[in-house]
Amino acid sequence: MPGFELFGDEEKKEVQDVLDNGVLMRYGFDPMRNGHYKALELEKDLAKKMQTKHAQVVSSGTAALTVALACAEIGSGDEVIMPTFTFVASFEAILSVGAVPVLCDIDDTLTLDPKAVANLVTEKTKAIMPVHMCGSMADLKALKDICEKHNLILLEDACQAIGGTYDGKPLGSYGDLGCFSFDFVKTITCGEGGAIVTDSSLFADRSHKYHDHGHDHVGNDRGAETHPFLGYNYRLSELHAAVGIAQLRKLDDTIALQKKHYTILRDAISTIPEVTFRRVPDTGVESYAFLTIFLPTEDLARKTHKSLGAHGVDACFYWYDNNWHYYKKWEHLIEQKSLGKLSDEIQAGLKKNLKSFDSSDAWMSRTISCLIKLKWTEEEINQRASNMVTAIQSIL
């Protein structure tokens, strides 16, 4: 999965362009650039790749979610429905705009359960945020139907699933807004970075202003630009964008390699009848970034996870105990441990909405995900497949 496995001359060349002209900032200094506008180039390439009209690069995936929420006019007291299984950035972004994260159960896709979502919609709900965890996706058609029924924003967090598709569309392009992360361990990396994609000219116009202190970017004198509304600094540097340009060109080859390695491992494990696999929704094609399996019980999943490590199978995750990706360890959210006072709306909303999530627990307690790496040799991938089968069978 990590794009850094494929660093090479392409990234060096793009970065050297920036170092040669000496302009590391995205905006201004036009006479010095020698025609190089790396962030702008990455946006054009990304919009084309994601089949959307617009793309806006920003400083991180968290920034992408924050800017997307702001552009959809989501703010104080508004509610955003999000899954119990995701990275903490999902609720951090919601809180950062003053809105209330409403946690929702997942199903066997390990993403939002549409039936659970429908039961959580209130007059305060403004958006549904499915998170395409570990390379696969939510039942987006069902979620979109809910959004259309209640006039809600569908915001796709595709930070872990770039390269996957749903109903023939790239993940991130199906909803009103889609977000990506380009941090160091993502399929495409800028080192640090993120992006928003959308077909909405309104959201695109807002995002390019909001992410840069509210600058309107009109004219060629940055000091004379006006600020039609408040914004913040979520800019991506030219150095980071340069790496992203080269990485994005490799996406198709990266996905093909992930699929090859994923298929070898899945075919081997499929011989074990007690093991099942996460459900990929109809019309969905995952990015093959992770191979995710279900064991029959929590106890067997815990023992299998340990057995995989003992048999030399690294980069496997038992998310149920993970500090960052599952609600059970989000005590800082649950207990509202904030350096600054949270608004009354957030405090009340969190108290009302945080509860037990038995359905999520039933799935996550039995789940193990294994990262798909890109540089495995044929011998290494076949040995890994054999080791995984042996490790699992030794428990079952």
pLDDT in tens, 10-31: 999 999 999 999 999 999 999 9
The predicted-structure confidence for 147-200, as pLDDT tens digits, reads as follows 999 999 999 999 999 999 999 999 999 999 999 999 999 999 999 999 999 999
The predicted-structure confidence for 108-144, as pLDDT tens digits, reads as follows 999 999 999 999 999 999 999 999 999 999 999 999 9
Q: Is the pTM of this model over 0.85?
A: yes
* Lookup result for tokens 């970075």: 193
The predicted-structure confidence for 278-333, as pLDDT tens digits, reads as follows 999 999 999 999 999 999 999 999 999 999 999 999 999 999 999 999 999 999 99
161/69 Cα distance (integer angstroms): 20
Out of 206, 233, 250, a domain closes at 250
Looking at the fold, whether 66 and 16 belong to one and the same domain comes out as yes
Out of 250, 269, 291, a domain closes at 250
Distances (CA, A) of 255 to 132, 259, 266, 287: 16, 6, 16, 6
The residue type found at 110 is: L
Looking at the fold, whether 86 and 97 belong to one and the same domain comes out as yes
The DSSP line for 256-285 is HHHHHHHHHHHHHHTT-TT-EEPPPPTTEE
Those residues with Cβ within 8 angstroms of residue 52's Cβ, 6 or more apart along the chain or in another chain: 172, 173, 178, 197, 198, 199
Looking at the DSSP bridge assignments, the partners of residue 179 are 157, 196
Looking at the fold, whether 261 and 309 belong to one and the same domain comes out as yes
254/224 Cα distance (integer angstroms): 43
The residue type found at 336 is: Q
For residue 255, give the nearest of 333, 383, 164 by alpha carbon.
164
- Count Cβ atoms within 10 A of the Cβ of residue 332 and give its class: 0-12 exposed, 13-18 middle, 19 or more buried: exposed
* Cβ atoms of residues 291 and 372 within 8 Å: yes
At residue 266, the pLDDT reads 98
At residue 339, the pLDDT reads 95
78/120 Cα distance (integer angstroms): 13
The CATH number of residue 364's host domain is 3.90.1150.10
Domain residues for 52? Answer: 3-250
56/193 Cα distance (integer angstroms): 11
Looking at the fold, whether 96 and 152 belong to one and the same domain comes out as yes
53/201 Cα distance (integer angstroms): 8
Q: Coil, strand, or helix at residue 212?
A: strand
2/22 Cα distance (integer angstroms): 28
Cα angle 206, 201, 179; round to 5: 70
Cβ neighbours of 186 (radius 10 Å): 23
At residue 1, the pLDDT reads 64
Looking at the fold, whether 144 and 235 belong to one and the same domain comes out as yes
Cβ neighbours of 95 (radius 10 Å): 20
* Cβ atoms of residues 127 and 177 within 8 Å: no
Looking at the fold, whether 244 and 256 belong to one and the same domain comes out as no
Out of 221, 250, 279, a domain closes at 250
* DSSP code, position 197: E
The predicted-structure confidence for 59-107, as pLDDT tens digits, reads as follows 999 999 999 999 999 999 999 999 999 999 999 999 999 999 999 999 9
Looking at the fold, whether 261 and 214 belong to one and the same domain comes out as no
314/388 Cα distance (integer angstroms): 10
Catalytic positions, written as ranges? 186
Q: How many domains does the chain have?
A: 2
92/381 Cα distance (integer angstroms): 37
Q: How confident is the model at residue 371 (pLDDT cuts 50, 70, 90)?
A: very high
